[in-house]
Amino acid sequence: MPPAPSPTVTLRDVAEADAAIHAAYPPEPEIVRMYGGDPANLPERSFAASRDWVAWMQAQPYARIIERDGTAVGHLRLHSLSVVDGRARLGIGLFSSAFLGQGIGRRAIVLALDDAFGPLGLHRVDLRVLATNTRAIRCYESCGFVHECTERDAACVEGSWVDDWIMSILAREHEARRQDGDRHSG
């Protein structure tokens, strides 16, 4: 039996209709913990709150909805953009833990990096991630991000202090990975 085809992951602009999609996914402990929140204190999700979230996302210069095979499954944004310094910070999240471990985030990040280092002309993209979020760290490393530094005891998660990692990738590193991938895909 041939392997199942890989899902098609795309990025698109945030639309008003995304409020209903966002509201349909209640906060999950695993996802909230990955963001550094308290899974014992899950935030309420309402259509009004999701509508506010959509408006906030639409106000971002580079905010996108992640779709897998045409279905919205998460969000991604490049924020803190500095044209002068050619840099931005990446933020990403999937709407449900059911979407984890399928390569969706990895593919979405590569698409965003293609835009960041292509049309946007950036030199560097960085991110912050909890040192305990090993799933996300593996994903970021597989996209070419490298650990630059550790902010010790940067977040209090469930009553314990957790370090934050700063990770980054440069345009030349992303391009080298793309060229290496092109050599191995033919």
- The series of mean pLDDT values per 10 residues for the chain, 186 residues long, is 71 97 90 83 86 96 96 97 96 94 96 97 98 96 97 92 97 94 54
pTM here?
0.91
- Other Cβ atoms within 10 Å of 23 Cβ, number: 17
Contact 43, 101 (CB under 8 A): no
What does the CA dihedral 176, 181, 182, 183 come to, rounded to 10 degrees?
90
pLDDT at residue number 29: 85
As a whole number of angstroms, the distance between CA 74 and CA 95 comes to: 5
pLDDT at residue number 6: 66
pLDDT at residue number 15: 97
As a whole number of angstroms, the distance between CA 46 and CA 23 comes to: 6
pLDDT at residue number 3: 54
As a whole number of angstroms, the distance between CA 182 and CA 178 comes to: 6
- Name the one residue in this structure whose structure tokens are 């041939």: 2
Contact 88, 26 (CB under 8 A): no
Q: How many CA atoms lie within 13 A of 116 on its CB side?
A: 35
Chain length of the chain: 186
- 87-94 and 124-130: which strand pairing? parallel
Domain locations in the chain?
9-185
pLDDT at residue number 35: 82
Q: Which CATH number fits domain 9-185: 3.40.630.30, 3.30.70.3460, 3.30.70.920, 3.40.50.10790?
A: 3.40.630.30
- Cβ neighbours of residue 133 under 8 Å, at least 6 residues apart? 34
As a whole number of angstroms, the distance between CA 66 and CA 95 comes to: 10
pLDDT at residue number 185: 47
